[in-house]
Homo-oligomer: A and B are copies of this chain.
């Protein structure tokens, strides 16, 4: 049984599996609140007729709302005593989730590596989220720095156990086309932009895809207009909606004595804000197929304003009507990529770097 104070590094073993508690039925309320919290405007998630016009039976729930709910389920067992969420990999959005679906999640410990400080260790986990028919809807890997219970341990074994290295990206053959046909005229009217997959300037994906070094110097970044300022209630409402219990987000009294002296914003909230901001410039990036890799580069706090910029990495056709675009989504705090003074921005203002694969409608052939 889970200890009241959560698990520490020493409690984990490779191969260990957790079936997380608190299944969660998604409702119209979750969808509206998510939209109000992050400012999303993707019509796929807010217009039933549009969703149906491109082949969905109903409005699917925003991919990232599903991610956050699934992630929240894992927190009590995996990251309750986390120092930091170090990275993500191999995240695939396998099938849509609809209002009325009930999600549950499980996690397997796939790797472990102590740190030389003797105070922490890194736990590598694969989590999966299922609907009420036990169909996989989402799977991802993350690695987390966790406190040791015994912080005075000596002679630390620094050898890695299990898997501690992951694919650089989800490969094209692992990404399926959504059902239905993404008719471009319907998309352009609903999203407000005719910029289809064909119009995005990016190198074609090739056979060496998965481990290729991505060269982006030849590609112009897409600067997303607008910025969103975070207040304390925004991020705490979001995180409570996801039933994420990580103490650092909620407990200002406790955090007063931390090195930040205040509550930390949940990193996933920043991902959602950047994704929402990216609608201006990538209006037709209707779904996220994969998060290839990513990390939170700096913490954010209430009062920070978030801006976003996307760098196209590569693209490939998925079906006659759908194309995939792999891109690097960058988030900045209090520094607007649209501003002429942006180049001189300090590295501390770079808060997110996320390698995503999104799906877009193709231009009529």
A residues with CB within 8 A of B = 1-2, 4-6, 19-25, 27-33, 35-39, 41, 43, 46-50, 59, 76, 100, 102, 132, 189-195, 223, 225-229, 231-234, 236-238, 240-241, 243, 245, 247, 250-254, 263, 280-281, 283, 303, 305, 334, 336
Contact = CB atoms under 8 A, between A and B. Distances in A.
B252 A305 contact: yes
Given A303-B252, A305-B251, A50 B38 contact: no
B22 A237 contact: no
Nearest to A25: B48
Contacts of A27: 28-29, 31-32
A19 B189 contact: yes
A117 to B, nearest CB: 25
A234 B236 contact: yes
Contact of A2 (B39, B193, B223): B193
B227 A190 contact: no
A312 B150 CA distance: 32
A4 B225 contact: yes
Contacts of A20: 192
Identical chains bound together, number = 3
Shortest beta-carbon contacts, A-B, top 4: A29-B32, A21-B192, A253-B305, A27-B28
B21 A191 contact: yes
Given A39-B250, A190-B21, A226 B245 contact: yes
B21 A283 contact: yes
Contacts of A21: 43, 189-193, 283
Nearest to A225: B4
B236 A229 contact: yes
Interface centre among A19, A37, A132 (most CB of B within 10 A): A37
Contacts of A234: 233, 236-237
B36 A33 contact: yes
B102 A47 contact: yes
A188 to B, nearest CB: 9
A327 to B, nearest CB: 17
A233 B232 CA distance: 8
Nearest to A303: B252
Nearest to A333: B253
A48 to B, nearest CB: 4
